[in-house]
A = this chain, B = another copy of it.
């Protein structure tokens, strides 16, 4: 019995369906465009995520952290216990393993970012509570 050699593959633009961000994990209108799931033994995965104005993730943590590469618009990221920070295209956010945080659009402007994360024991994220309006846009 022979085993096939591993082969380079190309996911062409337009061949991976856009998905809505599940309301169980996001507030507002969010679109997820899948990019890749790395071939084992690598464990990384990535997606382009687009948040309409006011939209954001729920609070969450990643067992091996996450990297965000902002590609368009203007958004926000916040670590639990620290002030929110504004994000612009070209900014790269590094979120260490276990750091509770959220990210999303600004109140009046959309944001798109590439989100990258590796997995530990098959897990890439642990979802927590929603980001309340008071947390998102303090008076």
Interface residues in chain A, defined as those with a beta carbon under 8 Å from any beta carbon in chain B:
5-14, 16, 35-36, 38-39, 41-44, 46, 64-65, 67, 69, 77, 79, 82, 85, 87-99, 101, 114, 116-118, 120
Contact = CB atoms under 8 A, between A and B. Distances in A.
A13 B65 contact: no
Given A6-B99, A69-B35, A114-B114, A94 B44 contact: no
A7 B98 CA distance: 10
B8 A95 contact: yes
By secondary structure, the A interface counts as loop
Given A10-B91, A88-B13, A91-B13, A43 B97 contact: no
B77 A64 contact: no
